[in-house]
Amino acid sequence: MRNAIPVLVLGRLSSSLVTLFLVSLVIFAITSMLPGDTAQLILGQFATPDQVAALRTELGLDQPALLRYWHWLSGFMTGNLGMSASNGVSVTQLMSDRLPNSLLLAAITTAISVPLALIMGITAAMRRGGAVDRVLNLVTLSMVAVPEFLVATLAVLLFAVKLDWLPALSYVSTVESFGDFMKIYAMPVLTLCCVLIAQMARMTRAALIDQLDSAYVEMARLKGVPPMRRVLRHALPNAVGPIANAVALSLSYLLGGVIIVETIFNYPGIASLMVDAVSNRDLALVQACAMLFCSAYLVLVMMADLCAILSNPRLRNR
Using CB under 8 A as the binding rule, whether residue 280 contacts another protein is answered as yes
Using CB under 8 A as the binding rule, whether residue 268 contacts another protein is answered as yes
**Residues near 93 by beta carbon (within 8 Å), at least 6 away in sequence:** none
Q: Which residues pair with 90 in a beta bridge?
A: 83
Figure out which of the listed residues 89, 119, 141, 310 binds another protein, where binding follows CB under 8 A.
Answer: 89
Which lies closer to another protein via its Cβ, residue 251 or residue 264?
264
Residues 30-49 that bind another protein (CB under 8 A): 34-36, 39-46, 48-49
CB of 57 to another protein, least distance (A): 8
DSSP string across 221-253: HHTT--HHHIIIIIIHHHHHHHHHHHHHHHHHH
CB of 266 to another protein, least distance (A): 5
**Could you say which DSSP state residue 173 is in?**
G
CB of 82 to another protein, least distance (A): 14
Per-residue binding letters, 201-240, with another protein (x by CB under 8 A) = ----------------------------------------
CA of 96: how far to CAs of 76, 204, 288, 314, in Å?
16, 35, 12, 42
Classify the C-alpha dihedral 261-264-265-271 as positive or negative: positive
**Residues near 28 by beta carbon (within 8 Å), at least 6 away in sequence:** 65, 69, 72, 283, 287
Helix boundaries (H) for the chain: 4-33, 38-43, 49-59, 65-77, 91-126, 131-145, 148-155, 178-212, 215-222, 227-229, 236-256, 259-264, 270-279, 283-311, 313-316
**Binding residues for another protein, total number by CB under 8 A:** 49
Figure out which of the listed residues 118, 194, 264, 290 binds another protein, where binding follows CB under 8 A.
Answer: 264
Residues 154-183 that bind another protein (CB under 8 A): 156-157, 160-161, 164, 167-169, 171, 173
Using CB under 8 A as the binding rule, whether residue 50 contacts another protein is answered as yes
| Residue 83: strand, helix, or coil | strand
Figure out which of the listed residues 203, 273, 292, 296 binds another protein, where binding follows CB under 8 A.
Answer: 273
Residues of this chain that bind another protein (CB under 8 A): 34-36, 39-46, 48-51, 54-55, 58, 84, 86-89, 94, 97, 153, 156-157, 160-161, 164, 167-169, 171, 173, 263-266, 268, 272-273, 276-277, 279-280, 282, 285
